[in-house]
Amino acid sequence: MISKKLKEEISRPSAIRAMFEKGAQLKKVYGEDGVFDFSLGNPNLPPPEKVNQTIISLSRENRPLMHGYMQNAGYEDVRQKIAEKLNESSNTKFEKGGIIITSGAAAGLNVVFKAILDEGDEVLTVAPFFVEYRAYVGNSQGKLIAVNAQPDTFLFSAEKIEQAITEKTKAIILNSPNNPSGAVYSDALLKNLADVLIKHEEKTGRAIYVVSDEPYRELIYDDTKLPVFADIFKNAITVYSFSKSLSLAGERIGYIAVSPSADDYSALNDALILCNRTLGFVNAPALFQRVIAECLNETVDTKSYKSKRDKLHSHITNLGFECFLPKGAFYLFPKSPIADDISFCNDYAVKYNILAAPGAGFGFPGYFRLAYCVSDKTIELSLPAFEKLAREFFK
């Protein structure tokens, strides 16, 4: 018998999973070009050529234990290179001892929460938020508490976060650029929050970790400036993935970077390394540790994503949809023309073979997400379908 908790999770309907399965059915009927799948954030751009060449070159090497175990935190030389790369754009002096290479950001977040949470501890986040945060926190017997962003900008209020802090608050997880909204948190906004956390620590003697989830760090547009969280928050833990910057989503490679100023720095690093092993990851993939070490200065063509954003955003807003212009990531998060965003996606958009993810799944009902990390052809072919959909609501 499976656990009661998992039985409840499995039985709980997932609008996003249902949309994915619906898409597979529609493609069998209408073909790949007849279905406009904006449901999943699966990057369509190829990795930079240097990544491909590095994979080929490394695979031809015959060094001892090329694919064997290494330290649970990852190869020391790779961790050193990551620390040096971070220090190029940061006032914080990261050390290789504070770098733990992980099997992607998802593994990194699970490792962090396992290391810092006791049963019943609370983790704050800003809604809308990535679907799996609740599960990641729950995996370590914590509780996710969401604080709603402002619906016009999807930015948080430091005052509202301050009001949500309790004696059980252990961490805040922030995602900028944000999935699903594409919002980017400014330096001033983050410093306001830092002031709140400093006051809290001075008053209570309890520090709160700021966990920065940064898989979209390189995907920013319109000359937007992305602050360095570790330069603003004393207790910063950065979680990063190469899934989006190098289009390596399926290879599961990323890292955790702990600010040297963080409370219990050495013990925290030891705990993270232990959890990386005991959660079953053991270590990040050996080959791709070597790959990313040679490709830290590479990134996919963000101009391509910006072009896709501009085309799709311009089209749907001209049709009548209300939609914030995202400053990063590769998602649009328009307002649903009806209050029930799940019904809008399942009953209306699907009629025209448009697959979108309901905002309710991201803790922000009344909206829907379009992942524009698809081919230009898919976007072009979808435009008439959006026109037909819009005519149902905007006369």
Pairing of strands 209-213, 169-175: parallel
CA neighbor of 37 nearest in space, from 381, 389, 305: 381
Q: Is the pLDDT of residue 131 over 80?
A: yes
138 CB burial (10 A radius; 0-12, 13-18, 19+): middle
**Nearest 5 degrees, angle CA 95-CA 98-CA 104?**
120
| pLDDT in the model for residue 11 | 62
Inter-residue contact 146 to 126 (CB < 8 Å): yes
| pLDDT in the model for residue 107 | 98
37-85 pLDDT tens trace: 999 899 999 999 999 999 999 999 988 899 999 999 999 999 999 999 9
**CA–CA separation, 248 and 251 (whole Å):** 5
Q: Is the pLDDT of residue 18 over 80?
A: no
363-394 pLDDT tens trace: 999 999 999 999 999 999 999 999 999 999 99
189-240 pLDDT tens trace: 999 999 999 999 999 999 999 999 999 999 999 999 999 999 999 999 999 9
**Nearest 5 degrees, angle CA 248-CA 277-CA 137?**
75
Q: Domains of the chain (ranges plus CATH)? A: 4-46+300-390 (3.90.1150.10), 63-294 (3.40.640.10)
241-264 pLDDT tens trace: 999 999 999 999 999 999 999 999
| pLDDT in the model for residue 17 | 64
What is the pLDDT confidence band of residue 31, given thresholds at 50, 70 and 90?
confident
Inter-residue contact 73 to 227 (CB < 8 Å): no
